[in-house]
Structure 1
Amino acid sequence: MTDNVSLVSGVAKRYASALLDLAEETGVTADVERDLGNFEGFLAESSDLDRLVKSPAFSAEEQLNALTALLDKAQISGLAGNFVKLAARNRRLFVLPDMIKAFRVLLAEKRGEETAEVVSAAELSDDQVTALKEALSASSGKSVNISAKVDPALIGGLVVKVGSRMIDTSLRTKLNSLKFAMKEVG
């Protein structure tokens, strides 16, 4: 039995690898990186776009038409635009967010960089992001990029994931640990 997660990540990695190879061959890697980042921003901001990308209820043609209009309006063209359209044509649009993430990971590996996924209770300031980058770069010995998300349920603190390492200093986790310890005592 095939695990859906590994299947999806395998598909995402293959598409991302092909995109990176083509971007490098044609010398447009920075443009593709920027355009995919912009598209990812639209996905995060629009629940309708997220639904269009993830829902099998829309036909490939409907997805392609809607995305073509969005890409044109957002001025995302060239290799990145064609990549998004290819994912729609091949009915792989639901994997697109993972493809973009895999592209970033592969590109970072080629550059000798690492990406830290940081979840905080509130949005981090530019100074906090810079300080976190410097601290993580110093500890890993590599240049570290930050992918930040906000989760108010953490109450306070951070959850930082770099590669296979995870550091959880969130108040939610500390409170849960305290609750567990108190149950053991009582």
Structure 2
Amino acid sequence: MAAQDSVLSQIARPYAAALFELAEADKSVAAVEQGLDKLLALAEENIDFARFLRSPVINTEEKAQAMHAVLERAKAHTTVGNFVKVVARNGRLFALPAIVAAFKERAAAHRGEVTADVTSAVALSAAQAKALADTLKAKIGKSVTLNQHVDSSLIGGLVVKVGSQMIDSSLKTKLTAMKIAMKEVG
């Protein structure tokens, strides 16, 4: 799986960089990011659309025509529409989620933001998420965008990853550490 992610990121980075340069030149980074978010949400909500993007059976011309219709109906931003059509013609629609992620990273870095992956046992409330973002901002000195995940096996607490730093305050980890410590004593 890690090798597949590496290949996807190698494909995604140049596309994301090119799109970012276009959007920055047009001063439409925010609009392009919103358009990409809508497209990605469609892929996440509609399993058939997600399969369509990944399908090696459908040829590139058919995918390009279908994406043209989807983009027209969605009234996509012009830059997003043209970009996705190029991606479709190049047979790279399977990498679209990775391209969007790479674009969002560039856009966040451009705005001076960092992204924190937060995993909790239960979904955080809006107030908890804001408090965590504010705390991280005070510690890091940059605006923080939270990518929230829920993993009930944590039992309680949080696992927060910002760049290469990880803070694991989950009960699961604490219990595992206690278990190891008790084995060493006994």
Compute the TM-score of the two structures, normalised by the length of structure 1: 0.84
Is 1:59 paired with 2:50? Answer: no
Give the residue type in structure 2 aligned to 1:159.
V
Secondary structure of the equivalent of 2:156?
coil
The residue aligned with 1:105 is 105
Structure with higher Rg: it is: 2
Shift in CA distance, 65/163, structure 1 to aligned 2, threshold 3 Å: same
The residue aligned with 2:80 is 80
Shift in CA distance, 133/64, structure 1 to aligned 2, threshold 3 Å: same
- Count of aligned pairs: 184
Q: Deviations over 1:24-63 (max 9, x none)?
A: 1112111101111122222222222222222323322343
The residue aligned with 1:164 is 164
Output the CA distance in 2 between the equivalents of 1:174 and 1:63: 49
Q: CA deviation at 1:8?
A: 2.4
Is 1:95 paired with 2:95? Answer: yes
Secondary structure of the equivalent of 1:40?
helix
The residue aligned with 1:116 is 116
Secondary structure of the equivalent of 1:51?
helix
- Percent sequence identity over matched residues? 48
Q: CA deviation at 1:126?
A: 1.4
The residue aligned with 1:26 is 26
The residue aligned with 2:148 is 148
Shift in CA distance, 26/136, structure 1 to aligned 2, threshold 3 Å: same
Give 5+ residue unaligned stretches, structure 2: none
Q: CA deviation at 1:13?
A: 1.3
Q: CA deviation at 1:147?
A: 2.0
Q: Deviations over 1:87-135 (max 9, x none)?
A: 2221112221111111111112222211112222322221111111101
Shift in CA distance, 69/171, structure 1 to aligned 2, threshold 3 Å: farther
Q: Give the stretch that moved more between structures: 131-140 or 73-82.
A: 73-82
The residue aligned with 1:43 is 43
Contact in 1 for aligned 2:115/2:147 (Cα 8 Å): yes
Q: Give the stretch that moved more between structures: 64-73 or 27-36.
A: 64-73
Give 5+ residue unaligned stretches, structure 1: none
Shift in CA distance, 119/40, structure 1 to aligned 2, threshold 3 Å: farther
Give the residue type in structure 2 aligned to 1:26.
D
Shift in CA distance, 153/30, structure 1 to aligned 2, threshold 3 Å: same
Is 1:128 paired with 2:128? Answer: yes
